[in-house]
Amino acid sequence: MTMRCWITAAVLAALGGMAPAARAQGGPPLLTDDPGTPESGEWEINVAATADAVPGGRSYELPVLDLNYGAGGHVQLTLSLPLAVSHASHAGRHGDLGEVEAGAKWRFVDQGGAWPADVSMFPKVVFHPPVAGAGEGTEVILPLEAARAFGAFAVNVDAGRVVRRHAPGLWFYGAALQYARAERMQWLAELHAERVADEATTRFLNAGFRRDLDAHRVLLFSLGHNVFSGGAPGETIAYLGVQFHGKP
């Protein structure tokens, strides 16, 4: 999404004074994360399926169990457990435990006070099981996230570094826009990019929605494709899931 699109969105938000305030929220079903954390003692559990398709092969994570717990008003503990299935045209179908991810998010700046935005850090460790690791070993993800709400719109950005033990690391960044004109519906769009060493940058344009089903359940969906990626093979990604949130 170009800078002109972001400026246009901000202007529309300023004109939309009658619209309900948006909650700046990234993360599932988007790739770009946000600084938001659950309230103290609350759970946020995402149960989902993901798909990733390129010419000659595709892979799925089904199910993905993403557990998030509010450990205080500004801290989130996270554990993600996916079952990964890959299907290549020359190798058939193969399934195993996917990348196990654990981390802790700390929102150290809060726009609920005198600050104009939320800001957090979210270090995570990704464990590759021996059967799925393909030599990559353990990864450490070191991101920063920031978000700001403007009436019916909210914008969040993230950027960071992935450090790998047995493979080149990568840089990533993303920007996401949320529009919440309807009370229970939030429309989403993002541009997310990754770059490994001296290789071409891979950029994904992704769009979707969050739909509140009731006070404790949210339907999550997104569909994206890589764009402006230096001749990289066409890649399509998708996410479909349900978020359960609240106290036990």
> Residue 60: its pLDDT value, please?
87
pLDDT of residue 217: 97
DSSP, collapsed to helix, strand or coil, labels residue 168 as coil
Q: Output the tens digit of pLDDT for each of the chain's 248 residues.
A: 333 333 233 333 332 332 333 445 568 999 999 999 999 999 999 999 999 998 888 888 888 999 999 998 899 999 999 887 766 555 555 566 788 999 999 999 988 766 789 999 999 999 887 654 445 578 999 999 999 998 899 999 999 999 988 788 899 999 999 999 888 999 999 999 999 877 888 999 999 999 999 999 999 999 999 998 776 778 999 999 999 999 98
**Which of the following CATH numbers is that of domain 3-246: 2.40.160.40, 3.65.10.10, 3.20.20.70, 2.60.40.10?**
2.40.160.40
Find how far residue 236's CA is from the centre of its chain: 16
Q: How far is CA 98 from CA 60, 65, 95, 217, in A?
A: 10, 11, 9, 25
Cα separations in angstroms, 153 against 24, 26, 145, 182, 224: 8, 12, 17, 11, 21
CB 243 within 8 A of CB 215: no
3-state secondary structure of 50: strand
Task: Compute the distance between CA of residue 181 and CA of residue 132 in angstroms, rounded to an integer.
Answer: 42
Classify residue 200 by its DSSP letter: P
Beta-carbon contacts of residue 112 (< 8 Å; ≥ 6 apart)? none
Give the separation between CA 107 and CA 14, rounded to whole angstroms: 26
Task: Using the structure block, give the residue that is written with the tokens 């990559």.
Answer: 136
Domain map of the chain by residue range? 3-246
- CA-CA distance, 88 to 97, in Å (whole number)? 17
Which residue is listed with tokens 């998010």?
105
pLDDT recorded at residue 28: 94
Task: Tell me: cis bond preceding 130? Omega within 30 of 0 counts.
Answer: no
d(CA 83, CA 241): 14
Structure tokens at 102: 């654990």
CA–CA gap between residue 36 and residue 146 (Å, rounded): 9
In the block, residue with structure tokens 């739909």 = 211
pLDDT at 16: 33
What pLDDT sits at residue 59? 86
Closest CA to 145 of 162, 170, 123: 123
Beta bridge partners of 175: 157, 191
- Which residue type occupies 184? R
pLDDT at 137: 73
